[in-house]
Amino acid sequence: MQKHSLRIRFHLLVLMIVLCACTTSPNGRPANGTPTSSMIPVIPQATIQEDGTKPAPQASPTSSTVASNIDPLTGLPPADASLLKRRPLAITVTNYPRYVRPQAGLTLADVVFEYYEEPYLTRFMAVFYGNTTNMVGPVRSGRYFNEHIVRMYHAFFAFQYADPREMSYFMSGDLNQLLVLQGYGSCPPYFNSHRNIELYNNAYFDITKWNDCAAQLHLDNSPQDIRSALFSPLSPASTSTAARIYTSYSTDDYNYWQYDPASGRYLRYEEADDTRDNKPATYAPLTDYLNGRQVAADNVVVLFVPHTFMNENEQEDSVFHINLIDSGNAFVFRNGEAIPAYWVRTDINQPLVMTNLDGTPIAMKPGQTFFEVIGETSSHRTDGTDWYFEYETP
C-alpha cells in the first residue's frame, strides 16, 4: 500500500510540473505536447494505473480559477458578462423526425451532447451559458442520461416530460428544483412556433425570459461554482490528422463533421435519408433556424460510455442508462488533428476531464465543444484522414 501511495504521489507531482511549466518546444508547440501558454489553467489531477492502460480516477477540485469574465464552458468571454451571473440552462433538442430540422439555437450553445435515446435515433442536449436566444428547440422529452449533464454544469433542465420511470426518478430526488417543465401560461417560457407540425415536436424555449421566470418561481438561479475545462489556442502534438469524423448510430441516424481550415472548425453534416435496403448514405448540412448558419464545433469529442439497463423491462423498452461517470476511452478532434484520449469524471457534480493516454491533461480549443456519446463496445477505424465510429447497442 505504501509503495502504491508513493507512486500516486509521484504522478501527481509530475502533473503539477506539467501544469506549471511555461516553456515551449522550438517548433512553437508546448513542451511534451501540453499547451502551457495562453491557457486557462483549470484541471483536476489524474494519474495512470500500474498497467499504463487507463487513468486512475482521482479526487478533483470543485472550484474554478478561471477569470470571472470568461465562460468556463468555452474559455471565451460571454456575449454579455451578466450572463455568467446565473445558472447554465441545459435543454433537450430533438433531431427526429427529419422534418423538425433545422433546429433553433444549436450554433449558440456552449456545449452540446449527442446521445442514443431510443432505437435507431439520437437526441441533443445543449447547454447555454455564455449566450442567450429567444428560441431553442424543438424541445423534447428527458432521459436518464440528461442527469449527468445537469449535474456537470449545475444547470436548470428544460425538457418535455419523460418516460414515467425516468420522470419519477427526476421528481423524487434533488434534481426536482432544477426541472423546467412545459406548463400553461408564459412561465416557464415555452411556446409553439408557426410551423404546421404536431404539438409535441413544436415546443420551443425562450432563454431571454427565463431569468424573470425563475425569480417569479423562487428558484435558485444564483451563479454556480463550475470547474472550467482546460483551454488553449495551441494544439497539442498529434501524429494523426482528421479531415472528417463519421459517426453511425444506425441505418436511420448517421452524420459527419468536416474540418474547415479557413475557420479552424468542424462543420456538421446530417443524414438526409436512411440506408436501408443498401441505399447509399446521403448527407445535407445541418443548419440553425435562427441564423441559417451551419452547425459547427471548435472541438469534437467522441466518448465511449457504458450503456446499461436496470432490469428486463427497461431493456425491452430501450430505457438506457448511459453511465458517464468514472472514466473511459475517447478521441479529441481539434484543428484538424486527432488525439487518442481518456475521459475522466470522478465527481458527479463536476464536468468531464480529458487526458492523454499518459494521464496528462488535454487542452481544448476555446469555443464550442460537441460530444458524440457512443457505447463502450463501439468500433472505430480510419481511412486516410477520415475517421469512422460505429455505434453498438448493449
Distance from C-alpha of 176 to C-alpha of 165, rounded to nearest angstrom: 15
> What is the dihedral angle through the alpha carbons of 169, 149, 323, 305, rounded to the nearest 10 degrees?
150
Mean pLDDT within 111-128:
95
| Percent of the chain residues past pLDDT 70, beyond the cut | 83
Give pTM, 2 decimals.
Answer: 0.85
Mean pLDDT within 373-381:
96
CATH 3.50.90.10 fits 81-216, yes or no: yes
pLDDT in tens, 321-341: 999 999 999 999 999 999 999
Position with higher pLDDT, 2 vs 387:
387
Mean pLDDT within 255-266:
98
How high is the mean pLDDT of the chain? 85
Residue 135 has phi, psi (to 5 degrees) of -155, 115
| pLDDT value for 71 | 97
| Cell reading at 207 | 432563454
| pLDDT value for 18 | 35
| pLDDT value for 88 | 98
The residues, any chain, with a CB within 8 Å of residue 167's CB and separated by 6 or more, are 142, 161
Domain residue ranges in the chain: 2-63+228-390, 81-216
Pick from 160, 116, 96, 170: nearest CA to 321: 116
pLDDT in tens, 207-246: 999 999 999 999 999 999 999 989 999 988 888 999 999 9
H or E element that contains 149: helix 146-153
Distance from C-alpha of 130 to C-alpha of 76, rounded to nearest angstrom: 8
Burial class (CB in 10 A: 0-12, 13-18, 19+), 49: middle
| pLDDT value for 309 | 85
User: Which of 18-27, 118-127, 150-159 has the lowest average pLDDT?
Assistant: 18-27
| pLDDT for residue 170 is more than 90 | yes
| pLDDT value for 67 | 62
